[in-house]
Amino acid sequence: MLFTIVLWLLMIETRGAQGLMYRDRRTIYGQNSNSSELPTYETCVTRNVTTAIGQTAFLHCRVYNRGDKEVSWMRKRDMHILSAGISTYTTDLRFQVIHPDRSENWTLQIKSPQPRDSGTYECQISTEPKMSLNYTLNVVEAKARIEGPSDKYVKTGSELTLTCVMSQGPHDLGTVAWYRDNQPVVTSPRNENDVDAEPRINVETVWSDALTSRLKIIYAKPSDSGNYSCVPTVAERASINVHVINGEHPAAMQHGNTAVSKPAPYLLLALILCQFR
């Protein structure tokens, strides 16, 4: 009888231990647990965005394990809630949230941004306490600049190089077009019989620390004279006047100054005295 009671007690204890282990496993694997995995941000996205005036800006916020939590965007300058979920809460129709179905992306799109839109924007998750991630938007006025004076003089037959530089603005400034007297500059095709020969008119655009476009004309002709403009896709144009002349040009032209030289004061005085003799 005593042996039976001891055996029964051992069985109860074993079953209790198994139940505790089962509950522990459920806690470890998240089954029947009151706690849930917190949402997380993708932190490898660009959070310092520079764009040119008028060029649509995108702030990409990626949230994982969102569950039933809501993602919203807030402008820190005035603490204005711009969106909650896919709904926008601003009368400024330039702001819109892009969220493809079943996606972790909550992108704030700002059309035709202006300098006043620069500042900090906050991507929020409605956890308790609230989670947030800051983004910085810089809206700049991208301008092109042609190196050198506003008037350039070259001799017939010499080489003409115009260099247009844009150091302000986003990396993606698109393309650059060159115009002469408001007509597109037509580059020269390469000589199929001499692939090493350089075309007479050529344009080269490269990225380094800035966007640089070079218009090169070899063996310049008087017909190459005119007003040249560098026109970027998303920046203000820059212009320069080119004069291709025959022979040597005066020193005044070399400095872009077409003013007529004035006689020295003492010469004027001598002329006046001669009138009274």
62 in the same domain as 109? yes
Q: Which two tokens stand for residue 251?
A: 């020193």
- Do residues 130 and 157 both lie within one domain? no
The CA R_g of the chain, rounded to the nearest whole Å, is 36
Instruction: Mark which of 107, 140, 173 sits at the end of a domain.
Output: 140
136 and 169 within one domain: no
In a domain, 161, yes or no: yes
Q: pLDDT tens, 232-254?
A: 887 788 999 999 998 765 544 44
**Which residue range forms the structural domain that includes residue 133?**
40-140
The answer to the question of residue 254 being in a domain is no
171 pLDDT band (50/70/90 cuts)? low
Tokens of 186: 């037509």
User: CATH code at 192?
Assistant: 2.60.40.10
Same domain, residue pair 126 and 51: yes
Q: Is the pLDDT of residue 170 over 90?
A: no
Residue 259 makes CB contacts below 8 A (sequence gap 6+) with 252
* Domain shared by 164 and 240, yes or no: yes
Residue 160 has a pLDDT of: 96
The percent of residues in the chain predicted with pLDDT above 70, rounded, is 71
Min mean pLDDT across 56-60, 117-121, 162-166, 255-259 is at: 255-259
Q: In this model, does residue 107 exceed pLDDT 80?
A: yes
Is 60 exceeded by the pLDDT of residue 224? yes
Burial 157-187 (b: 16+ CB within 10 A, else e): eeebebebbbebbbeebeebbbbbeeeebee
pLDDT, residue 124, reads: 98
Q: Are 73 and 60 in contact (CB under 8 A)?
A: no
The structure tokens listed for 50 are 């520079």
* Number of C-beta neighbours around residue 235 at 10 A: 26
At 192 the pLDDT is: 66
**Closest-CA residue to 154 (of 225, 91, 236, 102):** 225
Cis, bond preceding 184 (omega within 30 deg of 0): no
Question: What pLDDT, on the 0 to 100 scale, is given for residue 168?
Answer: 64
Task: Please check the confidence at residue 90 and state whether its pLDDT lies above 70.
Answer: yes
- H helices within the chain, ranges in order? 2-28, 251-254, 265-275
Please state the φ and ψ torsions of residue 132, each to the nearest 5 degrees: -150, 155
Alpha-carbon gap, residue 138 to 110, rounded angstroms: 12
Q: Which residue has the tokens 């005119």?
A: 226
What is the helix, strand, coil percentage profile of the chain, to 5?
A: 15, 40, 45
Per-residue model confidence as pLDDT tens digits over 53-78:
888 999 999 999 999 999 999 999 99
Please tell me the total count of domains within the chain. 2
- Which single residue is written with the structure tokens 């993602």? 71
Residue 9 within any structural domain of the chain: no
State how far the Cα of 227 lies from the Cα of 243, in Å rounded to an integer.
9
Assess contact for 53 and 109: CB atoms under 8 A.
no
